[in-house]
Amino acid sequence: MEQELKQANFAFIGFGKVARAFARLLINRRKWFIRKYGVEWNITGIATNKHGISIDPRGLPIEKILRSWKAHSSLNNFHNGPACDSHADFIRQCGADVLFEMSLLDLSGEPAASHIHEALRAGLHVITTNKGPVATHFRRLSRLARQRDVKFLYEGVVMDGAPVFNLFRNTLPSTHIRSLRGILNSTTNYILTQMEQGASFETALEYTRKKGIAEADPRLDLEGWDSAAKLSILIQALMGGSVKPDEIERHGISEDIGRKVRAAVRRDRRLRRVARAYRQGGRVIGKVELQELEIFDPLASIRGLSNILVLNTDTMQELAIIENNPSVEQTAFALFSDLVSLM
């Protein structure tokens, strides 16, 4: 007798580079979900800022939407559901079991934090790649998820699909993290390491924009806000601290950084922007600093878009996670791996 398939409905907030890469990955693994979990999925709603909103309780024609997607496309043409006056309305009416929050980074955390709050309150699991709400509302949203007995997952907010939170949660039982340090921002690292080879600041930044790696507002990368938000999340999720991004000391980089990059190379050292957290007198302190590193420091060998996180633990001593030259496909995989953990 054929096994009856279970139905899982997903809703997206944001349909940018990450969301479209995730949709492509879901399509690619459609048969795998059926084979492995007996689950057939539908995307029943997508909401954006300027590209409209659409709901279809029977499932949106996602392949057609992706095929026809252009800069000025509107999702309103695919709407076949109840009228929505707001994103809160959308969340309540989209008929989803899981909301994927993939809207733009804003350091206030809003409006994404309200989207996530609304979804958790309505009993939906939430999976996000948006650092803003996780950094600024971590405790409140995690508590709400526990109260509602749903999951609030955010693997993609640090190092894309490389396992950081899932690794800690699932494979490092009873482990205390004493300190951590890493290179967490691909755009800045690409600029610094390209400048070591003579490239200009502007050319290197332009490349990260074209690859879809730089934030929509690249000042968030250059001024260290992106690293500070990631560090704040690591501190809250892995070290039990409560440091917000604006409480983290930051060093930005600008066009005149070339002089320092070349001076470091002349001394046979490397300039890197290092995010680090350590414990001091019962508190956790976070810093995002430009550091000249010895050539044999593992962080000095991290080049281009690559990232590294080194955890100093009481069980494994030093454990390093490296992500080599990520793109949006790796961010999409973070959403995918969080989703699979719900199955």
Ligand X SMILES: NC(=O)c1ccc[n+]([C@@H]2O[C@H](COP(=O)([O-])OP(=O)(O)OC[C@H]3O[C@@H](n4cnc5c(N)ncnc54)[C@H](OP(=O)(O)O)[C@@H]3O)[C@@H](O)[C@H]2O)c1
**What contacts 172, CB < 8 A, 6 or more positions away?**
313, 315, 316, 319
How many residues make contact with ligand X (CB under 6 A)?
A: 29
Candidates 123-131, 136-144, 255-263, 275-283; binding stretch for ligand X (CB under 6 A): 123-131
**What contacts 101, CB < 8 A, 6 or more positions away?**
13, 14, 112, 115, 116, 119, 126, 127, 128, 129, 130, 133
Q: Which residue has its beta carbon closest to ligand X?
A: 16
Q: Which is nearer to ligand X, 102 or 192 (CB)?
A: 102
Report CA torsion sign: 92, 100, 111, 146.
Answer: positive
Query: Cβ atoms within 10 A of the Cβ of 42, count?
Result: 17
Our finding on whether 111 is near ligand X (CB under 6 A) is yes
Specify the DSSP class assigned to residue 73.
-
Our finding on whether 331 is near ligand X (CB under 6 A) is yes
Our finding on whether 18 is near ligand X (CB under 6 A) is yes
Candidates 11-19, 202-210, 290-298, 305-313; binding stretch for ligand X (CB under 6 A): 11-19
Our finding on whether 216 is near ligand X (CB under 6 A) is yes
Binder of ligand X out of 57, 59, 163, 212 (CB under 6 A): 212
Q: Which is nearer to ligand X, 21 or 300 (CB)?
A: 21
Determine the straight-line distance between the first and last CA of the chain, rounded to whole angstroms: 23
Q: Which is nearer to ligand X, 44 or 129 (CB)?
A: 129
Question: What would the two tokens of residue 214 be?
Answer: 């730089």
Closest CA to 96 of 60, 66, 141, 72: 60
Residues 299-328 interacting with ligand X (rule: CB under 6 A): 328
Q: Which is nearer to ligand X, 31 or 50 (CB)?
A: 50
Q: Which is nearer to ligand X, 213 or 239 (CB)?
A: 213
Residues 33-72 interacting with ligand X (rule: CB under 6 A): 47-51
Candidates 188-196, 202-210, 213-221, 297-305; binding stretch for ligand X (CB under 6 A): 213-221
Candidates 118-126, 161-169, 208-216, 269-277; binding stretch for ligand X (CB under 6 A): 208-216
Binder of ligand X out of 54, 93, 129, 232 (CB under 6 A): 129
Report the relative pairing of strands 98-101 and 6-13 from DSSP bridges.
parallel
- The single residue of 17, 131, 230, 287 carrying the catalytic annotation is 230
Our finding on whether 103 is near ligand X (CB under 6 A) is yes
**What contacts 131, CB < 8 A, 6 or more positions away?**
105, 157, 158, 226, 229, 230, 233
Closest CA to 103 of 53, 41, 138: 53
State the minimum distance, in angstroms, from the CB of residue 157 to ligand X.
Answer: 6
DSSP string, 99-166: EEE-----TT-TTHHHHHHHHHHTT-EEEE--HHHHHHHHHHHHHHHHHHT--EE-GGGTTTTS-SHH
230 catalytically annotated:
yes
Closest CA to 60 of 73, 71, 195: 73
Binder of ligand X out of 44, 54, 93, 130 (CB under 6 A): 130
Residues forming the site for ligand X (CB under 6 A)? 13-19, 47-51, 87, 102-105, 111, 129-131, 156, 160, 212-213, 215-216, 328, 331
Could you give the residue numbers annotated as active site?
A: 230
